[in-house]
Structure 1
Amino acid sequence: MDYYAIVHNDFDGTASASVYARAVNSLPRNIWFTEPTKLHEVLAKLELRGVSSVMIADLGINESTFPSIVEAVKRLRSEGATIQWFDHHVWKEEWKSKLKEVGVEVYHDVTTCGAGVVNKVMNPNDEVSRRLASADCSVDIWLHDDPLGEKLRRIVENDRRFEWKKKLLETFYGGTLWNDEFQKILETRINEELKGYQRIWKYVKVLDVEGAKVVVAIRWKGPPDISYASQFLMTRTGADIFVSANGKAVSFRSNTIDVRRFAAGLGGGGHPLAAGASLRIPLLYRFLRWIGVRGPVIDWVSRVVIDVIRKEGLVKYERKPAH
């Protein structure tokens, strides 16, 4: 089968492409790793060049770019393309209806990750795909119920280059989920993370907001990344919520609280236990952070966090059963 793949630029995107490739018994002629904010641009520039099938996976929709997405898929459909879209982010029903009207096959399921959607629809009986989707969902939607997920996420995110993700796609497609190269990378990454855990306390503040303990952090350079740091810091402090700001965006994590509410309150979105939004820290505070003065930045982010939590309220997350 000859097709193009357009997926999210992360572990879930790579896993989704791999599961789909195994289902159709073919690697894509070309693949694009992108972000939801740039999907409309990728679609607008896409030329079929004799390829009649396009798969999109693990890419949610931004309301501001949706009209451009519709126009782009209309053009591709008029040129004879079959388009399948697999996703697990929160969608408006009108988005699904509009895409279906123009002939897009939409497969949407919020109970799983992107690779999980592809696996359910395309090849539910393939054991390699099931294992890969399980590992991916474990970290992507914050389930933490499959140890392979914590390992593979480090492997995928070890190298951001296209060539590395393409190599991983080929490896997973071939049925290999772990090898000696992965093991060496894992050992190196964990050693780097262990060193990093010793210094991240300088970038952290613990708050009490409406009876919940919240860890607020400003981004540091190097490992550990926010997903691993969030679990470490929440465990060490007994916090319910972890918040990280890097100057341009803010990320929320929790094991028990619906943090998507807070991200949505700031104009963003995501999953109930892992979400984010744009958050531009004022220039003065960024300058102070640059010269090593971290306190004012942490205090500014903390005020934003306190305000949005008080506004949106604390809601326990009730996990929905998969179907």
Structure 2
Amino acid sequence: MEDYYAIVHNDFDGTASAAVYARAVGYLPKNTFFTEPTRLHNFLNKLELRGVKKIVLADLGANGSTIDQVTERLSWIVSQGVEVEWFDHHVWKQEWKDKVTQAGVHLYHDTSTCGAGVVHKVKNPQDEFSSKLASADCSVDIWLHNDPMGEKLRRVVENSPDYSWKLHLVETFFKGELWNDEFQKILEDKIDEELKGYKKLEKYFKVIDIDGKKVAIAIRWRGPPDISYASQYIMSRTGAVVFVSANGKSISFRSSTYEIRRFALEFGGGGHPLAAGAALRVPALHRFFRRIGIRKFMMNWVTTRVEQAVKKAGFQEYKENRAMSQ
């Protein structure tokens, strides 16, 4: 039995990926680390191997501004006799793939599924439990919304940001428990909180018309409901085909019918065809007014930029086969 580290994204998909991999090899990692793609280079530079002979990275996309630093460090890690496997589903440039493989890394890249889905396909496609976990995960991670268990588990995973909670989830999934009494109690409490929160949403969003299609634009709020659940609620209620939210530092796009990654690219971002985002720093004065409860200035500023980006990129219906080939 060979000790390994699992380094995964700090979300449901990362957690599920770590669990699916552990089930595939039959044992848990020596340590599981949760990080963000933009911080991967710094994390790797500080990582001490301590006799570990394998490192598994999952659900961590490549970043053009840090890929050279990442591959340089991975090349050194491989030179120390450590095997590195990287599983990911985000959009990569071919040159990034080439750099990673040239560093000696075993790269498994598949944009048709989520991170846990890639691990499942490669490592243990016959494991029924991993298939169920990956299905639930993909349903919410890449905005397919085709598995009700995904909505339930996402609330459970996001119940706490604590490291110990994520480790507990990895261990629970590793043992083959998809749902239990603990999860049920968390879900019930979360739903109660969300139902109270839906009543306050009206003042945080507006719907505009862009090229004959409704687009809902929201300024982030504190507390439940989560922005993902709220987006579905708002789109269903208003007939909007695209949902946009901004928090002052970033912007995110969601849709069930249109490829919104093209809109995020206009802001220098990226993501999945139906769920994407980018950095968008709102002027300090508008953020100040928002903090004291006046949202109209920030809303108007964000709306102008969204209109410009959407009109420039244009609406394109989501086609699964096209998205899989990107």
- TM interval, shorter chain, is over 0.9
Matched, 1:206 2:204: no
The residue aligned with 2:100 is 99
The residue aligned with 1:118 is 119
The answer (yes or no) to whether the contact 1:12–1:115 under 8 Å persists in 2 is: yes
The residue aligned with 2:155 is 154
Deviation digits for residues 128-170 of structure 1 (CA, Å, limit 9, x no counterpart): 1000000000000111110100000000011011000000000
Deviation for aligned residue 1:98: 1.6
The residue aligned with 2:51 is 50
Provide TM-score, normalisation by structure 2: 0.98
Q: How does 1:241-260 map to 2 (within 5 A)?
A: 241-260=242-261
Q: How does 1:1-323 map to 2 (within 5 A)?
A: 1-320=2-321
Q: Distance in 2 between matches of 1:132 and 1:111?
A: 16
Q: Which moved more, 1:48-57 or 1:91-100?
A: 91-100
Q: 2:49 corresponds to which letter in structure 1? A: L
Deviation for aligned residue 1:59: 0.4
Q: Distance in 2 between matches of 1:262 and 1:238?
A: 19
Q: Which moved more, 1:248-257 or 1:42-51?
A: 42-51
Deviation digits for residues 142-199 of structure 1 (CA, Å, limit 9, x no counterpart): 1111010000000001101100000000000011011101000000000101111110
Deviation for aligned residue 1:210: 1.3
Q: Distance in 2 between matches of 1:94 and 1:281?
A: 33
Alignment: residue pair count: 323
Provide TM-score, normalisation by structure 1: 0.98
Deviation for aligned residue 1:320: 2.1
The answer (yes or no) to whether the contact 2:253–2:276 under 8 Å persists in 1 is: yes
The answer (yes or no) to whether the contact 1:36–1:62 under 8 Å persists in 2 is: yes
The runs of 4+ residues in structure 1 deviating greater than 4 Å are none
Q: Distance in 2 between matches of 1:35 and 1:196?
A: 28
Q: Distance in 1 between matches of 2:73 and 2:47?
A: 9
The gaps in structure 1 that reach 5 residues or longer are none
Deviation for aligned residue 1:296: 1.2
Deviation for aligned residue 1:46: 1.3
The answer (yes or no) to whether the contact 1:142–1:273 under 8 Å persists in 2 is: yes
Deviation for aligned residue 1:29: 0.6
Deviation for aligned residue 1:295: 1.1
The answer (yes or no) to whether the contact 1:2–1:26 under 8 Å persists in 2 is: no
Deviation for aligned residue 1:84: 0.3
Secondary structure at the aligned position of 2:320 is classed as coil
The answer (yes or no) to whether the contact 2:120–2:131 under 8 Å persists in 1 is: yes
Q: 2:23 corresponds to which letter in structure 1? A: R
The answer (yes or no) to whether the contact 1:16–1:57 under 8 Å persists in 2 is: yes
Q: Distance in 2 between matches of 1:99 and 1:36?
A: 14
The gaps in structure 2 that reach 5 residues or longer are none
Deviation digits for residues 225-271 of structure 1 (CA, Å, limit 9, x no counterpart): 11101100000000010000011110100001110001111011100
- Identity %, equivalent residues: 62
Q: Distance in 2 between matches of 1:198 and 1:168?
A: 31
Q: Distance in 2 between matches of 1:192 and 1:298?
A: 26
CA root-mean-square deviation = 1.1
Q: Distance in 2 between matches of 1:4 and 1:281?
A: 38
Q: Distance in 2 between matches of 1:287 and 1:177?
A: 44
The answer (yes or no) to whether the contact 1:21–1:28 under 8 Å persists in 2 is: yes
